[in-house]
Chain A
Amino acid sequence: MGVPISQMWTVATYVLKKKLSGQKKYPLVLMLEPLFRCNLACAGCGKVQYPPHILKKQLSPEECFAAVEECGVPMVSIPGGEPLLHPQIVEIVNGLIARKIYIYLCTNALKLKERIHEFTPSKYLTFSVHLDGQREHHDMSVCKEGGYDEAIEGIKEAVKLGFRVTPNSTFFDGTDPNMVRAYFDEVMALGVEGIVLSPGYSYDKAPDQQHFLGRAKSRRLFRAILSNRKKSWKFNMSPLFLEFLMGKPDRNYECTPWGSPAYNIFGWQKPCYLLQDGYTDTFKELMETTHWEGYGTASGNPQCANCMVSCGYEPTAVNHGFGSLSGFFAMAKAALFSTYEDKGALDLLNNHTTFAAQHDQFVKIENIAPATRLEETRA
């Protein structure tokens, strides 16, 4: 497992304290978006489609610290926009480290090499570098030739300087599982701590959403990717969440939308990091006024129908793992028997025409033709 013991201990004791206090709904990770501005223009990214006066706004360090203290989480993920464009990002990170908060700073790494020397390595700080696969796939995904090479340069520099680094990958309909496995080999060879991955999700407000990956397809894709694992692969994620993605029978989890609340210039986002159904001024108001029963797959809400994304389902897996004996034993088993041998999954890999229905959507950068159908937009 890629997650360090001290971080696991912090999360485990946090979950146990919440359980013992009888609290039913509590957050695990704050998705702190200090700005929406970005130096990439990825097609379909709903996070950056705002008028310029909104893109120029940003949270102050004091607002960031207040949000973290208000919700009381042990971990903070800092996505965006691109956090390294925030002029006070170092002050924000250092302030969170001083509060002993584990931080995942999510970056496309285009400015990582330039700014890395402003940061100090710490067990609390991880650079979570956006990397959606091998070179041609990532470049197409971020709509920038050369994007992969710049991200790899940033990763190498951060690893060399002793920082914790986890490549953070989102995979979509049409992804070739063999490419993903080859990509795992590449990034582990760079010396990263572990891989973070998630299936893609079409943002609620992203344009031209026609069709996107259903849960049945997602499970098939991740079964092919994550079964028959190599020992060299490490994942900086809950092993039970990975089993959920693979469609393991005892991992039919429901979403925990309050598990990863999002805070940005608009306030506390209802109900989760991905959907925007409104905002509240306080975390308490978010928890008390959101109609949680209207979200998650069990609700029948079509906006949640295709979602298996980590921000909603990993908190469920973490609560299961650290909040029950059965979950704890399942995690221990996953750590000891981590190869997940599966002949059916090998068949999927060896004959990935199983994914033929999506092949006309899979884009090869060297062999590109106008797509006849829309691929789902990206989270």
Chain B
Amino acid sequence: MSQPTQHAAVNVDEIEVVDGRAYENLEGWIPELASDDDVRTALEKAFDYRGDITLTFKNGERVEGYVFNRVTGKGLADSYVQYFPANAPDKRKTSYAEIARIEFSGKDRAAGKHWEAWVKKYAEKKAAGEKNIALHPEALD
């Protein structure tokens, strides 16, 4: 969040195991934007999302891109998102107030890439007698 957050007082030095954050499956989600809070919440999730987002503006323009930043002000007009369009080289900035529709349209690049999935895949490949077992980066084209 871009605003200061108050946190509960805990003695973290005594903690043996820390709870992580739950994973949210947002791929394909099209949130209802009925209120200002809906817009803020959806764009906060868009900022956290590891895939492209399609934004439709109130002037009808539609852009798909990766949302990498958001700055929240007092209202929608002075809050904005920053993103790299998928088909253009430069960063763009758009006010929350100009956004009419948000689609979590791109593939979630974080989904399924956790440690447990690798361990399971490794065990299966090893049992099948495979050699040089590895995970490979996804193709960029």
Residues of A at the B interface (CB closer than 8 Å) are 37-44, 46, 48-57, 140, 143-147, 202, 204-217, 252, 265-267, 277-279, 291, 293-294, 297, 299-302, 304-306, 363, 365, 368-371, 374-378
Known contacts: A38-B137, A205-B50, A371-B119. The answer to whether A211 contacts B13 by CB under 8 A is no
B74 contacts partner chain A, Cβ-Cβ < 8 Å: no
Chain A, residue nearest B47 (CB): A278
Q: Is the CB of A300 within 8 A of B8?
A: yes
Q: Is the CB of B84 within 8 A of A53?
A: yes
Mostly helix, strand, loop or mixed at chain B's interface? loop
Question: Chain B 101-134 against A: per-residue CB contact (8 Å), 1 yes, 0 no?
Answer: 0000011011111111111101100100001111
Q: How far is the CA of A55 from the CA of B91 in the complex (A)?
A: 15
Q: Is the CB of B13 within 8 A of A216?
A: yes
Residue from A43, A53, A294 within 8 A of B115 (CB atoms): A43
Q: Is the CB of B107 within 8 A of A51?
A: yes
Known contacts: A145-B132, A208-B116, A211-B18. The answer to whether A278 contacts B71 by CB under 8 A is yes
**CB under 8 Å from chain A, chain B span 1-37:** 1-5, 7-10, 12-21, 23
- How far in angstroms is the closest Cβ of chain B from A81? 10
Q: Is the CB of A53 within 8 A of B15?
A: no
**CB under 8 Å from chain A, chain B span 69-96:** 69-71, 82, 84, 86-87, 89, 91
Known contacts: A43-B117, A53-B66, A370-B120. The answer to whether A207 contacts B111 by CB under 8 A is yes
Q: How far is the CA of A147 from the CA of B132 in the complex (A)?
A: 10
Q: How far is the CA of A145 from the CA of B119 in the complex (A)?
A: 13
Q: What are 8 A-B pairs with beta-carbon distances under 8 A?
A: A37-B137, A43-B115, A43-B118, A145-B132, A208-B116, A210-B19, A216-B13, A294-B4
Known contacts: A214-B16, A266-B69. The answer to whether A55 contacts B140 by CB under 8 A is yes
Known contacts: A207-B111, A214-B15, A374-B115. The answer to whether A48 contacts B137 by CB under 8 A is yes
Q: Is the CB of B20 within 8 A of A376?
A: yes
Q: Is the CB of B18 within 8 A of A279?
A: no
Q: How far is the CA of A277 from the CA of B86 in the complex (A)?
A: 22
Q: Could you count the A-B residue pairs with CB atoms below 8 Å apart for me: how many are there? A: 183
Q: Is the CB of A306 within 8 A of B15?
A: yes
Residue from A49, A51, A305 within 8 A of B86 (CB atoms): A51
Q: Is the CB of B51 within 8 A of A305?
A: no
Q: Is the CB of A212 within 8 A of B20?
A: yes
Known contacts: A38-B137, A40-B137, A215-B12. The answer to whether A143 contacts B118 by CB under 8 A is yes
Residue from B14, B20, B87 within 8 A of A202 (CB atoms): B20
Q: How far is the CA of A117 from the CA of B132 in the complex (A)?
A: 27
Q: Is the CB of A214 within 8 A of B18?
A: yes
Q: How far is the CA of A369 from the CA of B124 in the complex (A)?
A: 9
Q: How far is the CA of A376 from the CA of B18 in the complex (A)?
A: 10
- How far in angstroms is the closest Cβ of chain B from A141? 10
Q: Is the CB of A300 within 8 A of B4?
A: no
Residue from B12, B21, B68, B109 within 8 A of A209 (CB atoms): B21
Known contacts: A208-B23, A305-B15, A370-B120. The answer to whether A267 contacts B69 by CB under 8 A is yes
Q: How far is the CA of A275 from the CA of B30 in the complex (A)?
A: 26
Q: How far is the CA of A279 from the CA of B91 in the complex (A)?
A: 12
Q: Is the CB of A277 within 8 A of B1?
A: yes
Residue numbers in A under 8 Å from B47 (CB-CB): 278
